[in-house]
Amino acid sequence: MKAKELIARIEAYAPRELAWERDPIGLQLGDPEQEIQTVMTALDVRKEVVQEAIEKHVDFIFAHHPMIFRPAKNLDLSVPQNRMYA
């Protein structure tokens, strides 16, 4: 299944219009055309979640809270949050 197909199924269950107007929703990082086999669910995307996803070869992390709530001002990899995105 492609990521965009999973996203469409999720949005059929939880339509975008139900989101709070200021909540960032949808795919934040990745390719909607990516083939996915394994999905991980999480409340928040933290470095421990990312590490577990890497170790378990997870293709897609579905999180309740947005990974990026405020726009990034830079992608300086000395910043732990930015390093996690990379």
Full domain range(s) for residue 77: 3-85
CATH code, 28? 3.40.1390.30
The percentage of residues in the chain with a pLDDT greater than 90, rounded to a whole number, is 60
Average pLDDT, the chain: 90
The pLDDT of residue 71 is above 80:
no
Q: SS in 3 state form for the chain?
A: CEHHHHHHHHHHHCCHHHCCCCCCCCCCCCCCCCECCCEEEECCCCHHHHHHHHHCCCCEEEECCCCCCCCCCCCCCCCHHHHHHC
**Residue 44 — pLDDT band, cuts 50, 70, 90?**
very high
Domain count of the fold of the chain: 1
Question: Which tens digit of pLDDT belongs to each residue from 6-38?
Answer: 999 999 999 999 988 888 889 988 899 999 999
For residues 53 and 58, what is the distance between their CA atoms, to the nearest angstrom?
A: 5
